[in-house]
Structure 1
């Protein structure tokens, strides 16, 4: 029972009914202007009226804004399950205009039918409720029949009329989705946009992994060193480093959340680049690790995206070194040569200088000290997306991460 009555009580049913009647009103206005109804037969009225409606609606559909206006109105009154099922964009192709013309003609035809059914139903209500009981005599209503056998028919008639409006509204919605829905080109653009959004979210997740992973690594190392060393000055310095690292991680987390919420605050969405690497190295040195860095990159030479990805690659490389070779010196070299940005991150391997089996680094992303290889896989993905490549493995007793990326993206 609730399933039967629910559509009759839904606001969407009456919004769609209003949408239907708007089409009927349009047809009525055109009919009154031309050809009119005075002293004319049904054929003389109907044929010219339909012809005028079709021509006029076709001309309106040729306007690009007509499709947008109809889409917005359909979204508001037809109440689709998903707003994106009905486009609200101007017509861009002749196919869009043809579909808009079909929609307008179908809308007016269905609305006119709904309007005629409404008039017929109201007339029938009048006949059942008033006409059998009274008759007009001059200007007075005089009773002629007081039987009530016809009254049970009235609720059934009303119930049937309301459900007819429900199905007419659903038919109108189906027409809108089919004729006003996104075209093939728009669906392709939408699919590309969604793919870009997914890639952006994956990139943000990878950045968050890099930033939080580095912060946790530094925090764990500093906390462990402070526990082992009986030096209050060192403990105070370690706590300061932990505090600063945690603050930076929280800023990265907040910036990432802002981006995920699609905020427009430019200051909040600023991303670090190569220029911020000296501050990053100072923080690592303050954590007790020796870092020797050479950055030979002319100011403004790198594209913004390349500068940012380089920062994240170096951050991940240093984090891996701190995690798997704590206490060992780390050497960083960033140079521009032959149209390529070259990044080299090296630290002493903790394998006694014994290299792993040939090829193991390229297949697994590292030796035993690089378990899992998620960070290295992320570095390779970053480099590949920018047209470069990344390799990692033992080299002369060191673990070396080498990355090359073209300065001109897409080359």
Structure 2
């Protein structure tokens, strides 16, 4: 065997224990161990103070002292758990000293129910009991080692001092871990708090999705109108038409900037009163301006809105505006220049929205016309899986309504978007 092979074997043999020692000593050198030890000692100090004040240590046997002090500890801790702020104080302290992997595993809320108070009482009693056991175990361990080292056979025990210190250290490590597990079990969020947290996360997710739809609908509409106006101005070349197109582009861009600013304000969680103009939501009363924009883009709009002013809830008015805006945007994008027919009315306790437009090339004479095949093939049919129509369906579903979109089956060559929303949300 070569010298290199022998050296490699020696290195591998001597290196094997090196990985064990750090794993054995790492918990003893971690700051979390000593923070948890401090947390344990606080519980022990509490029991010691009660022991010194009452019943004292005079004229009583050890059993009597322990029984009376334990009884008093339990009563005091149970009464303390009735205070709602106790759970919060214990949760904050446990987060700081027990160093959990995830802070949310230990709640810092006030006690709201009797179940919270019972769990807090169990935690306080368990904390003091475990802290007392750890404290007495540490003291007796140190005293025992000291007695052996000062006795007549001290030299025989010197080699065992490192092992005793290692055992005492690991005793504190496991006591701290047990204290942490107890805190997670007894101070962790209650089922009601977990449900509230889950609902909050769901609300935030829905809000993010809503804001994403807001941006898609608003910016998508603005870009569609801008592209159509710029293309038409380039093709026509008439100065008056160009000036009108530029005016529409300017107004559409300004509206898109306001929508973007409003959405960014919501994302930054700025208070609503900080910028009233930025947080104002569009509503169904702003539809005439939307129709004027479509007309300026070259698509005739026939609109009939049979909704009394102020009769819709704010959220329903806002979502209705966005739905109609997306319908108009789709029509401008896939059927530019074709007439739009929009009907909005309240019937049988529902708000009905209908946006129809002719498909390009549909319904012409056989001499030079093409008609989309039955089943929706053709240019307009590509809208079926778009993000805009999916967003409309999501809006309608969240409001308890329904939405449908597609070409009419009667061969009229019309694409129709129909949405029905209940006037009472959640019904």
Question: Is TM-score (shorter-chain normalized) higher than 0.5?
Answer: yes
1:218 aligns to 2:218 (yes or no): no
Q: 1:316 aligns with which of 314, 320, 326?
A: 326
Structure 1 residues 255 and 162: CA distance shift in structure 2, 3 A: farther
CA RMSD in angstroms comes to: 3.2
1:386 aligns to 2:396 (yes or no): no
Structure 1 residues 295 and 11: CA distance shift in structure 2, 3 A: farther
Partner residue, 1:138: none
Alpha-carbon offset, residue 4 of structure 1: 4.7
Structure 1 residues 36 and 348: CA distance shift in structure 2, 3 A: same
1:100 aligns to 2:110 (yes or no): no
Matched-pair contact (CA < 8 Å) for 2:224–2:332: yes
Taking structure 1 as the reference length, what is the TM-score of the superposition?
Answer: 0.83
Taking structure 2 as the reference length, what is the TM-score of the superposition?
Answer: 0.80
Helix, strand or coil at the partner of 1:377:
helix
Partner residue, 1:56: 76
Distance in 1, matches of 2:25 and 2:258, equals 53
Alpha-carbon offset, residue 407 of structure 1: 1.5
Distance in 2, matches of 1:211 and 1:13, equals 55
Matched-pair contact (CA < 8 Å) for 2:41–2:132: yes
Partner residue, 2:359: 349
Q: What number of residue pairs does the alignment pair up?
A: 394
Alpha-carbon offset, residue 319 of structure 1: 0.6
Partner residue, 1:259: 266
Distance in 2, matches of 1:239 and 1:153, equals 91
1:38 aligns to 2:66 (yes or no): no
Distance in 1, matches of 2:148 and 2:248, equals 88
Matched-pair contact (CA < 8 Å) for 1:61–1:101: yes
Give 5+ residue unaligned stretches, structure 2: 1-20, 364-370
Distance in 2, matches of 1:343 and 1:117, equals 76
Alpha-carbon offset, residue 188 of structure 1: 2.6
1:207 aligns to 2:189 (yes or no): no
1:245 aligns to 2:252 (yes or no): yes
Distance in 1, matches of 2:258 and 2:133, equals 62
Helix, strand or coil at the partner of 1:368:
helix
Partner residue, 2:292: 282
Distance in 2, matches of 1:164 and 1:409, equals 60
Alignment of 1:61-76 (within 5 A): 61-76=81-96
Identify, as 1 or 2, the structure richer in helix: 2
Moved more, 337-346 or 369-378: 369-378
1:28 aligns to 2:44 (yes or no): no
Distance in 1, matches of 2:162 and 2:260, equals 62
Alpha-carbon offset, residue 371 of structure 1: 4.9
Deviations 1:218-258 (Å, cap 9, x if unpaired)? 23223332333334554454444444434433443343344
1:80 aligns to 2:119 (yes or no): no
Distance in 2, matches of 1:261 and 1:162, equals 48
Structure 1 residues 270 and 84: CA distance shift in structure 2, 3 A: farther
1:272 aligns to 2:282 (yes or no): yes
Distance in 1, matches of 2:323 and 2:419, equals 9
1:297 aligns to 2:300 (yes or no): no
Matched-pair contact (CA < 8 Å) for 2:335–2:380: no
